[in-house]
Amino acid sequence: MIRLSYGVGSAAVLVASLVVLVSHVGFAQGDSLLGTWVLNVAKSKYTPGPPPKEQTTIFEAAGQGLKVTTKGTDSAGKPTMTEYTANYDGKDYPVTGNPDWDMVSLKRINANTVEFTRKRAGKVVQTATSLVSKDGKTRTITSTGVNAQGQKINNIGVYEKK
């Protein structure tokens, strides 16, 4: 039998290291947004419309937040892509590729709900709430505000996890 002996200081360092490691692993595994989500156009509603022909969003863990990449095809058949990396701290982060908004801030409400504030040129233009279902298979994002053309929007996007 092998017997290990640790001093109080060594044990405290080991426990603190494990707590930090588990908290980072738990964050990545516990974020219900992580993964690949595909828009179900038939279940979604875009006002004023028309909806995109297709859209896929990938959420990846990035520090204490997310890296978000959305690719798709708009209603006219043109490719679209939006990217950003942001923390759940309510601060503004730059967005590339989206004509409607160029900054985003995220706020986690609970394990399955995130609020997004979208800005263009420093002004809030849209707010959105993303809700992941309890079974983790469906994500519904409700967005309100105005688009780049100044039209009021009220969109409900329903995504399925792949």
- Position 10 scores a pLDDT of 44
Write down the domain spans for the chain: 33-161
* pLDDT tens-digit readout, 115-136: 999 999 999 999 999 999 999 9
CATH fit for domain 33-161, picks 3.30.559.10, 2.40.320.10, 2.40.128.20, 3.30.1490.20: 2.40.128.20
Is the overall model pTM greater than 0.95, yes or no? no
Nearest to 76 by CA among 54, 48, 45: 54
| CA 36 – CA 72 distance, rounded (Å) | 13
- Give residue 63's region: left, alpha or beta (phi > 0; psi -120 to 50): left
